[in-house]
Structure 1
């Protein structure tokens, strides 16, 4: 790991440890959940070169399963989160096995179609609660010992999950597997000619991305004690695309910055009502026009160091 990456991770960790003493912990936890979600999506788009319009399916379904497992089955929070994450991974495998057979806009449309199927399933299924969702999800005790009703305990659990997930993504990106993904993104025919089984790599990164997105969704369900249709609706897929592009697609830290910007806007501009969406759109247009590489992408270009 380059020295400047170590410094950024250390500074980010120190900042997040101090953050709950200056900001509302729930707000920071929301940023962490969406940062992990955006990083998971960036793994697929920024490094795999696959644009999915259906990542809300894994985020939302993991949220539902985690909430149901905690509330109805009475599982401890860590087991409930694992259940949600595993379901997202299985769903990602099933959808990815079919989606990777197509490329470009056809791939994107297939993922959107499957995500809408998951949305309507969530609307009709009995265990999801329909339009009411699953409310009053118990946070329980971590490993049966640590009471997560305490915001401090919950915050550091979310921080540990999000930070570990981001470090795992960093390791995947800089592994031989990640290098092959970049080769496929840049020149797929060339990768095929070198003997790589491209579809296997695409499916692997699709499942990894879906699983980590599910981890973010399951954690969010515990934090907010709620799983709702908002988590699985197509606008959630649009938000994660916006976060990734705004922060910087194909960068390590870009999705984290993008998630922080979007969540902060939603939180502090909530008084504007539906105008928040319009403001987000305007900021996105300005970002695309002025710095196409995203916030972190532009900084990386200026400093001439990969971020």
Structure 2
């Protein structure tokens, strides 16, 4: 009894220390992001935050539900188009424009998910790719997207009618707030009973079905949630760069977010953020060099596959150091 009591006390103290360490790390990270515009180019930081949220939303589907989608650019680019069109043609405020993008992405997610979840594995992935390419050609031909020119000169407007997002500093803190809210929603989602069921489906779908869970409904719910959060990232991205183009809905964008998630580590909250930061940083700082960025990115991916099969954060999570730090 004494040994059991001591062991329980030790476990409680360990959990308390881990929680304190994680909270400290979170506060430090938020503080760094708040001060980051003083040291880095704000547009680069906003791009990084948008793609980090995109990767986290994709990881919600791949890492926690076990569904590999090759068509997530549909929701990212679709939301960018919806937000850009609403801002430029309808003159709505930025928060309304972003919400229109999120709603449009969620609706697309409902349609694509309803069709795709009827299959598993590579068949699921191929269906999402095929539907994504269908949407790409729709955007190429549709009048409101303006074809290959895209929607350009999108006004940022005034947030809630009085905060001028034309000011780069204001825009950065708006993007940061959206990123924090988006990650908080994902954290709450994966730690809810719904998220626990998704993890059980990922581990053993047949057993989840035998326990009475409607697997198809849970998969569809996760797909729509992932699409909506991806749309949040896409809508904000359209405001940051003030345009929406076919690049946002191309299959290359879907491949890019898969790369980000795998590099950071699937099934971890921080992993996709690290992966997105690595890829966006390489793209930004190597853009002016003579050496192709894609080759460097490919080499980094090969190294991670060979040395960090779980991804950067995934390997850290499995290591002793990661357990001490509470990853």
- Aligning the two structures, in what range does the TM-score lie when normalised by the shorter sequence? over 0.9
C-alpha change, 1:31 and 1:233, in structure 2 (3 Å) is same
- In the alignment, what sits opposite 2:166? 149
Specify whether residues 193 and 16 from structure 1 end up closer, same or farther in structure 2 by C-alpha distance, changes over 3 A only. Answer: same
1:84 corresponding residue in structure 2? 101
After superposition, the C-alpha distances for 1:93-129 in whole angstroms (9 at most, x for unaligned) are: 0100010000000000000001001100111111001
In structure 2, the residue matched to 1:271 is 288
> Superposed, which structure 2 residues align to 1:76-155 within 5 Å?
76-155=93-172
Structure 1 residue 72, shift from structure 2 partner: 0.5
Tell me the residue number matched to 2:15. Answer: none
After TM superposition, the structure 1 = structure 2 runs for residues 1-307 of structure 1, keeping only pairs within 5 Å, are: 2-272=19-289, 275-302=292-319, 303-305=321-323, 307=327
- Alignment partners' CA distance in 2, 1:48 and 1:272: 39
1:72 is paired with a residue of what secondary structure?
helix
With over 3 angstroms needed to count, the CA separation of the structure-2 counterparts of 1:164 and 1:76, relative to structure 1, is same
**Aligned-pair CA distance for 1:7:** 2.7
The gaps in structure 1 that reach 5 residues or longer are none
Report which of the two structures shows the higher radius of gyration computed on alpha carbons.
Answer: 2
111-120 vs 276-285, greater mean Cα deviation: 276-285
**Take 1:226 and 1:135, find their aligned partners in 2: how far apart are those partners?**
4
Local SS of the residue matching 2:161: coil
TM-score (norm 2): 0.92
**Could you list the runs of 5+ residues in structure 2 that have no partner in the other structure?**
1-17
Report the 3-state secondary structure (helix = DSSP H, G, I; strand = E; otherwise coil) of the residue aligned with 2:266. coil
Tell me how far apart the structure 2 counterparts of residues 277 and 304 of structure 1 sit (CA, whole Å): 30
Question: CA deviation digits over 1:135-182, x for unaligned, max 9?
Answer: 000000001111111111111100000111001101111111111111
1:273 offset after TM fit, Å?
A: 5.9
CA distance in 2, matches of 1:279, 1:269: 9
Deviation (angstroms), 1:286: 1.0
* Distance in 1 (alpha carbons) for counterparts of 2:313 and 2:237: 25
Q: Following the alignment from structure 1 to structure 2, what is the Cα–Cα distance between the partners of residues 63 and 12?
A: 28
Structure 1 Cα separation of the partners of residues 279 and 23 of structure 2:
25
Shift of 1:282: 1.3
Aligned length: 307
